[in-house]
Chains A and B, each alone.
Chain A
Amino acid sequence: MCGVPTLEIDHLNKSYGSLRALKDMTFDVRSGEIFGFVGSNGSGKTTTMRIVLGVLHSDGGEVRWKGAKLDLDARRRVGYMPEERGLYPKMKVGEQLIYLARLHGMNAADARTSMEHWTEVLGVAARRADDVQRLSLGNQQRVQLAAALIHDPAILVLDEPFSGLDPLAVDVMSGVLRERAAAGVPVVFSSHQLDLVERLCDRVGIVRGGEMVAIGTIDELRTTDTSRWKVVTPSAPPGWASTVPGTRVVRADGVTTVLELTDHTPDAEQRILRAALAYPPVREFVQVRPSLTDLFRHVVSAGDAADEAHASNQAAA
């Protein structure tokens, strides 16, 4: 893994008074990878991103890029879209983007070229001479993304980049993130639109209460210990599946039956298919895997239960 430039978030801790906002937050994002950061509100996503950008100081832990501590000079090469959008409302779009590019260290000519490029790509080229406050919220969001991309960043950290965008803008934004990742940039973004995360991300991290509770590729996360299969057989009599060997029926409602394999020999699921084919037609035969939304619900509710147990234990003591 040493060969691939990696953004490492290593055991970050942060407390606000008695509230522990981050508990040993750890993950890494490799060059060219899109990392989805999901978790309920207040779970520590924004805090983590702010610490990566040096806007907030951590109580402990370190952020590294290519093995070295991410200092001010390195941070200048990060593209950042904060959760609370921010641009000068009374400054013209073009002028503002050039100014931000120059603050990131670009010279005037490169800054102008880059401004022209990104306003074109993001569809706000016609608004360059307008004050930011005169743009619609969606267009302000596009300018905000342009502000994160304007200095050709080596790392992208985007807090809720998709919130408030129309479907077309979501497509533009997704395209830009894919293109940047393909150019070798590690991309970290947070979102509550889990279908989007599932579609876009190479890897996903689920956070709860300031801790990373699940991390991996979408496939890894969806892989479960048990193997469940769904069969749709409109003409089969009720109870047809109860006799399939090496399985048990998890759910049967109308034409749809869900079975779980109890016998883990290879091709065990083929027995289900053969049994179903006795009652044609078979409309569907598919492995049931939890969606990211299911995983998220599972992780978050499990955490809530644990928290409640913990709280009642404390109350008892």
Chain B
Amino acid sequence: MSRTWRPIWLIAAREVRTRLLAKASIISTAIVLVLIVGGMVAASIISANDSPDVTQVALTGETTVLAPALQAAAAGAGLTLETSEVAPDAAEASVLDGDLDAYLRGDPTSPAVSLEGAPDPTLLAAITTAVQQYALSDAITALGGDPTQVGRDLAAAVPTVNVLSDPSGAEFDPVAFSVAMATSALLLFTLLQCGSLIAMGVVEEKVSRVVEILLATIRPSQLMAGKILGIGIVGLIQVGLFAGAAAATAAFSGLLDGVDLNLGSALLWLLVWFLLGFAIYAVLFGGFAALVSRQEDIGAVTTPMIFTMMAPFYLGIYLVPNSPDGTLTKILSQIPFFSPFMMPVRQAFGAAQGWEVALSIALCLALVPLLVWLAGRVYSRAVLNTGGRMKLTDALRR
């Protein structure tokens, strides 16, 4: 057992050390981290700007009595409102300057409101409510009632809201969409990067001929397993770093405040689909890369692989959000090469049944040994073949 595993671990450890300490990989990881954190901070600043800042309302003479009612109405409408008393002649100029949002004068039961440009309906509604409130308490007082008591009763008289929604979640959900996008993009980015690292590593060993020394000591399967394991660990560290940075930024910037999202489970599923996607794609990258003998030819092998990843990725981000439980989506999301990109999106939309997820995972797991066998066969036959590109059929036949 240890004779089989010891070389694999040694090879994996070398891969991890080489890849993690490589300048290029440190720089690219840092850039992606900056993009993730920066992008999310920018998003949170933009969304913070959406929430209205303090609304300034000026009152004069008799309208000052409206102040408490205005505050209450504004609070009810979700506005932050400040009132101030100004001299009538200066007020209109301030409105035009933008220092004031509104200016109320005249009779408090029917005041004249001055604003600049199109009136903000929320502000107008708040002012109307305040004026009506004032008029109402005026009338109650005139009738000998207690306006405070009436106000309290009014406040208590609210309906209980019961929001009904389709449990399958077929409605478009922007939060689910964002999470699905982030997951898919991260998955694609990491799988592509790991895939090309593996392919480059295999060809590098072939080009430098070091593979002949290595294969005099260890089996081809051990060499490939160690390489894939090592680069898998590197990829996992990267996914963890990116996802962790995204989650931490989201938590600190308050981007997810008031959003119903189970971050822990989203991260866990990201991990699961990364591992499955990696197992499926990485093995093939490793096996097929052995077919070429020069770094320049590597594209001939990786390009078809990249396309086999782009297709499910685009289906995942375009098809699935539009029909998370359509028949086509259901079928495609069970096919192993598609499922790592499509199933997480369905899950984010809450459209995947438990058994569907379990089945797609089982199908992926069942395919992996077959792919390992196929890639191992191609690899061990092609890796010592130098001079030009070996045809896949030749590698499989002999």
A residues with a Cβ closer than 8 A to B are: 50, 53-56, 72-73, 75-76, 78, 80, 82, 84-91, 99-100, 102-105, 147
Stretch of B212-220, B279-287, B303-311, B359-367 contacting A (4+ beta carbons < 8 Å): B212-220
Given contacts A91-B18, A99-B14, A102-B10, contact A56 B213 (CB under 8 A): no
CB distance from A283 to the nearest CB of B (A): 52
A86 close to B218 (CB less than 8 A): no
Residue B152 interfacial (CB < 8 Å): no
B residues with a Cβ closer than 8 A to A are: 3, 6-7, 10-11, 14, 18, 204-205, 208-219, 384, 386
Residues on the A chain within 8 Å of B209, using CB: 82, 84-86
Residues on the B chain within 8 Å of A80, using CB: 212-213, 216
CB distance from B23 to the nearest CB of A (A): 11
Of all chain A residues, the one with the shortest Cβ separation from B209 is: A86
**Which of B3, B208, B213, B386 touches A100 (beta carbons < 8 Å)?**
B213
**Which of B205, B208, B212, B217 touches A104 (beta carbons < 8 Å)?**
B217
A86 close to B10 (CB less than 8 A): no
Residues on the B chain within 8 Å of A103, using CB: 7, 10-11, 214, 217-218
**Which of A56, A73, A78, A87 touches B384 (beta carbons < 8 Å)?**
A56
B216 close to A88 (CB less than 8 A): no
Residues on the B chain within 8 Å of A88, using CB: 204-205, 208, 210
CB distance from A149 to the nearest CB of B (A): 12
Residues on the B chain within 8 Å of A84, using CB: 209, 212, 386
CB distance from A153 to the nearest CB of B (A): 11
Residues on the A chain within 8 Å of B213, using CB: 80, 82, 86-87, 100, 147
**Which of A54, A73, A78, A99 touches B3 (beta carbons < 8 Å)?**
A73
Separation of A84 and B216 alpha carbons in the complex (Å):
14
The 3 closest A-B pairs by CB, nearest first: A86-B209, A86-B210, A53-B216
B211 close to A72 (CB less than 8 A): no
| A80-B216, A100-B213 known, 16 other contacts, Cβ within 8 Å | A75-B217, A80-B212, A82-B213, A84-B209, A84-B212, A85-B209, A86-B209, A86-B211, A87-B208, A87-B210, A87-B213, A88-B204, A103-B7, A103-B10, A103-B218, A147-B213
Separation of A315 and B18 alpha carbons in the complex (Å):
59
Residues on the B chain within 8 Å of A54, using CB: 215-216
B212 close to A82 (CB less than 8 A): yes
A55 close to B14 (CB less than 8 A): no
Separation of A78 and B216 alpha carbons in the complex (Å):
8
Separation of A55 and B218 alpha carbons in the complex (Å):
10
Given contacts A55-B384, A99-B14, A102-B10, contact A86 B212 (CB under 8 A): yes
Separation of A200 and B124 alpha carbons in the complex (Å):
105
CB distance from A267 to the nearest CB of B (A): 54
Q: Pick the most buried of B209, B214, B216, B384: most chain A CB atoms within 10 A of its CB.
A: B216
